[in-house]
């Protein structure tokens, strides 16, 4: 027997789901909870909360209930990108509610792969509703509920009305997620450029400037090597700009986190450009809008090396050997362990052993800690 849905029942369901969305956005309950509450209110349904990037064809976030794990997995891997319904509701304004039997009945695409290999196998769920809220030019959050067509007459209108009342809660959750992303990205970018002696900056996939140290800010202000227009970094040499843009794109799309290093500049101003993807910070709570990937660009202008600092006070305090102080000089100048090994004419393994000894003597837990310590004692 199907439950009747009067105004009181609809209001109660909407309030329960809205509260769960609020709690999930604050990390107090898992994101499956609002989906489960919505699903339980309409027995026999399947529900998901999804953030999909239709520009780059990717699922950024998905939590579901009622679906078998293999159905959810194949949707993320393949069927999300051939879903005929998406063609309709992506054109609808943010805050719209899509009703399958009204806007695009499943029978109109009954001969498709999506219909036969996913909808039918997921449980003959050929009817449903779905709320759509735009989070950004690329992030589209939607809250679809699917159910067998025999439930459509009873479920379509009340499920659609509940969905309309969830627009504001979903928007608040998006705002919280965007704030978390901004704070996480800002912290990651600042940590990446702090205490680097060479000009260093952090950009996103579109070369939007996310962070820069003082040396890089000077270069930007002089507009001699690069400029910042509308928040985006532009290198004045077109060939160099294309190479850096291509390297950033490659680093963003790589499943690993490799680095890219190449030389540039004029014979009078030789420069080594080192690019590396920053690790994505883990944020809690798990947000519908994930943290964007960022790339660190370090510009080592070989004709203008950083000034050598006096670290004698640091050496005396922590009992560092002359070799260990020389390594500190090299690391403080922004060199990698491999570059330091070449500069000091030592093997990479010797440099690693020496670095570990410095960490043990100073109590530094890693290179960021060591950079901060060196900055305090540099004369």
Range in 93-107, 242-256, 301-315 the model is least confident about:
301-315
Residue 140 maps to which CATH number? 3.30.450.80
Averaged pLDDT, 53-62: 82
Q: For residue 182, what pLDDT is reported?
A: 78
Model confidence at 283, in pLDDT bands (50, 70, 90)?
A: very low
Instruction: Pick the range with the lowest mean pLDDT from 9-23, 171-185, 341-355.
Output: 171-185
Q: Within this chain, do residues 200 and 270 fall inside the same structural domain, yes or no?
A: yes
Question: Same domain for 157 and 46?
Answer: yes
17 Cβ partners below 8 Å, 6+ apart?
Answer: 34, 37, 38, 41, 162, 166, 169
Would the pLDDT of 225 be above 80? Answer: yes
Q: For 9-18, 148-157, 281-290, which range has the lowest pLDDT when averaged over its residues?
A: 281-290
Average pLDDT over residues 94-98: 96
Same domain, 271 and 293: yes
pLDDT, residue 285, reads 41
- Residues 166-204: tens digit of each pLDDT: 999 999 998 888 887 777 778 778 877 877 778 899 998
- Report d(CA 286, CA 275) in Å as an integer: 28
What does each C-alpha distance from 298 to 147, 200, 220, 243, 347 come to in angstroms?
Answer: 53, 4, 14, 14, 24
Confidence band (pLDDT; 50, 70, 90) for 356? very high
Q: Are residues 154 and 282 in the same domain?
A: no
CATH of the domain at 329: 1.10.10.10
Higher pLDDT, 379 or 347: 347
**Nearest to residue 233, comparing CAs of 243, 242, 220, 221?**
220
Q: Is residue 309's pLDDT more than 70?
A: no
Mean pLDDT calculated for residue range 148-177: 95
- Count structural domains, the chain: 3
- Please name every residue paired with 227 in a beta bridge, in sequence order, or none if there are none: 234
- Name the band, by pLDDT with cuts 50, 70 and 90, for residue 306: low
Q: Are residues 190 and 141 in the same domain?
A: no
- Cα separation, 303 vs 248, whole angstroms: 25
For 330-344, write each residue's pLDDT tens digit.
887 767 888 888 888
| Cα end-to-end distance, the chain, whole Å | 80
Residue 192 sits in the same domain as residue 260: yes
Distance separating alpha carbons of residues 120 and 137, to the nearest angstrom: 32
Domain-located, residue 213:
yes
Say yes or no: 50 and 142 in one domain: yes
292 pLDDT higher than 80: no
Q: Against a cut of 0.85, is the pTM above it?
A: no
The span from the CA of 87 to the CA of 222, in Å, is 48
Identify the domain containing residue 256 by its residue range: 181-301
Instruction: List helix spans (H) across 80-207.
Output: 84-89, 100-103, 113-114, 152-164, 167-193
Of 15-29, 115-129, 177-191, the poorest mean pLDDT is in 177-191
Q: Classify residue 357: in a domain, yes or no.
A: yes
Beta-bridge mates of residue 65 = 47
């Amino acid at each position: 027997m199907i439950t009747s849905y009067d105004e009181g029942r609809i209001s109660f369901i909407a309030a329960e789901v809205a509260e769960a969305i609020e709690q999930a956005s604050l990390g107090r309950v898992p994101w499956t909870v609002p989906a489960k509450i919505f699903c339980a209110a309409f027995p026999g349904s399947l529900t998901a909360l999804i953030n999909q990037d239709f520009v780059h064809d990717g699922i950024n976030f998905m939590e579901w209930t009622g679906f078998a794990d293999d159905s959810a997995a194949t949707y993320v891997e393949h069927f999300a990108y051939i879903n005929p319904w998406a063609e309709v509701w992506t054109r609808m304004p943010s805050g719209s509610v899509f009703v399958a039997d009204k806007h695009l009945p499943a029978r109109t695409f009954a001969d498709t792969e999506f219909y036969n290999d996913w909808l039918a196998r997921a449980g003959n769920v050929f009817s449903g509703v779905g709320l759509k809220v735009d989070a950004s030019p690329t992030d589209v959050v939607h809250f679809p509920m699917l159910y067998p067509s025999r439930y459509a007459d009873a479920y379509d209108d009340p499920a659609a009305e509940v969905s309309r009342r969830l627009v504001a809660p979903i928007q608040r959750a998006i705002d919280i997620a965007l704030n978390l992303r901004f704070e996480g990205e800002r912290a990651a970018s600042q940590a990446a450029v702090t205490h680097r002696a060479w000009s260093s900056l952090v950009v996103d996939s579109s070369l939007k400037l996310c962070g820069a140290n003082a040396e890089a800010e000077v270069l930007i202000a002089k507009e001699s090597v690069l400029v910042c227009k509308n928040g985006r970094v532009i290198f004045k040499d077109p060939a160099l700009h294309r190479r850096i843009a291509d390297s950033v794109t490659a680093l963003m799309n790589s499943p690993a986190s490799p680095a890219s290093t190449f030389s540039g500049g004029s014979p009078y101003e030789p420069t080594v450009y080192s690019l590396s993807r920053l690790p994505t910070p883990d944020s809690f709570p798990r947000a519908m809008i994930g943290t964007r990937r960022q790339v660190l660009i370090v510009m080592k202008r070989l004709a203008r090396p950083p000034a050598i600092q006096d670290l004698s006070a640091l050496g005396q305090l922590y009992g560092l050997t002359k070799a260990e102080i020389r390594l500190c000089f090299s690391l403080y100048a922004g060199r990698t362990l491999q570059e330091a090994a070449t500069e000091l004419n030592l093997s990479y393994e010797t440099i690693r052993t020496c670095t570990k000894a410095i960490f043990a003597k100073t109590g530094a837990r890693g290179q960021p800690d060591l950079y901060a310590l060196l900055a305090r004692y540099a004369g």
